[in-house]
Amino acid sequence: MQPWTDVALPALVGAAAGTHAATWGMYKDAPHEGFAWSTYLRSVLVGAGIAPLVRLALGIPLAGAAGIVLLFGGTYAVERMVHEVYKTFVRRENQAKYALPMALAVDGRVVRSHALRLVLGVVYVAAVAVLFAAIRGFERLTAPVRPGVLPIVLLGWAGGWVSALGSAWKGPPIEGFDLRKFFRIPVLALVYSVLLAGLTSDYLRISVAAAGFTVATAETYRTLFFPSTPRGKFAGKPVLFPEQLRRRHYFVPLYVGISLGVVAAAALAFGSPREGLW
């Protein structure tokens, strides 16, 4: 075991991914629900904790910049999934402060049975696990044949559909169905699948990392270009903590710094010898 490449470096990359996610979440939500370090640091610690496991599960080598990029995207996706599963199926919270219920809901009505939500949460996680197992199984089945770009891109696209279907389940009963919004996530995931196929030919690494970068890109767009538009869960809700409209800007340099760091790592990865398909 090499502590730096197996634990310390992945944890550092995971902490960066978690910080990035925590910052856009805080930026949009703090004016409505206030700021707490415990809430902000939760994603940071979860990202740092799961990144070594993500690296191990996906077999991501960290010998070069390509591995850093893939691990950042993969950790981002898994951290967001953990976050959403916890909010949707596990957490017990008064939903009155939200315009959109964060807990599992059917036609906008929260499923009151906590036990039922837990069971459905297990089913959901199992379904995602089966999907990723199927991707890995298909990869092994076709191992004797050199992989082509098309199947890798299409399989990499799968992670985007997981996110899109989850959003389509939660939002439309309250805010209506937006066809452009529904397809935006899969299209972004498709673009990232094409890009990441230049760094690796591993189906699962592409799928998970593409999902992570898709979420990061979509939320960065919403945060930077529509800073005054609250997330759907607070649409129409009053700003209860106006001081946070000023304080949230203190975190912007950190957010931009992490984003530029990932872009720099990607540029370095594409400029170095790599195992991608193009």
The pLDDT tens digits of the residues spanning 89-104 come to 999 988 888 888 888 8
What confidence score (pLDDT) does residue 175 get? 54
The answer as to whether 198 is a domain residue is: yes
- For residue 129 the two structure tokens come to 């696990």
**Count of structural domains, the chain:** 1
**Mean pLDDT, residues 50-69 taken together:** 94
User: Residue 196: is its pLDDT beyond 80?
Assistant: yes
In this structure, are residues 117 and 103 in contact, taking their beta carbons and an 8 Å threshold?
yes
Answer yes or no: is 113 within a domain.
yes
**What is the pLDDT at residue 173?**
54
Confidence (pLDDT) at 240: 94
Structure tokens at 179: 């066809």
* Model confidence band, residue 258 (pLDDT cutoffs 50, 70, 90): very high
103 in a structural domain: yes
Distance CA 278, CA 264 (A): 19
DSSP 66-87: HHHHHHHHHHHHHHHHHHHHII
Looking at the predicted structure, is the pLDDT value of residue 237 above 70? Answer: yes
Q: State residue 169's pLDDT score.
A: 61
pLDDT at 66: 96
Residue 68 included in any domain: yes
At residue 148 the predicted structure's pLDDT band, cuts being 50, 70 and 90, is low
14 vs 143, more confident: 14
| Average of per-residue pLDDT across 117-139 | 89
**Nearest 5°: phi and psi at 66?**
-60, -40
**Highest mean predicted confidence (pLDDT) among 198-212, 231-245, 253-267:** 253-267
Mean pLDDT of the chain: 87
Report the alpha-carbon distance of residue 257 to residue 260 in Å, rounded.
Answer: 5
Is residue 10 assigned to a domain? yes
* Residue 16 confidence (pLDDT): 98
Q: What is the pLDDT of residue 183?
A: 73
Is pLDDT of 1 > 70?
A: no
Please give the span between the terminal C-alpha atoms of the chain, in angstroms, as a whole number.
Answer: 32
pLDDT above 70: residue 52: yes
Distance between CA atoms of 21 and 67, rounded to whole angstroms? 20
Most confident of the ranges 16-20, 174-178, 220-224, 269-273 = 16-20
Residue 45 has pLDDT above 80, yes or no: yes
Q: In whole angstroms, how far apart are CA 129 and each of 126, 171, 240, 257? A: 5, 24, 40, 33
Provide the domain limits for residue 25: 3-270
Say which residue, 173 or 2, is predicted with more confidence.
2
Q: Is residue 278 part of a domain?
A: no
- Domain membership of residue 155 (yes or no) is yes
Sign of CA dihedral 245, 217, 187, 124: negative
Helices (H), the chain: 3, 9-33, 37-58, 65-85, 114-141, 149-156, 158-170, 172-175, 179-196, 203-225, 244-247, 252-270
Q: What are phi and psi of 264, to 5 degrees?
A: -65, -40
Is residue 70 domain-resident?
A: yes
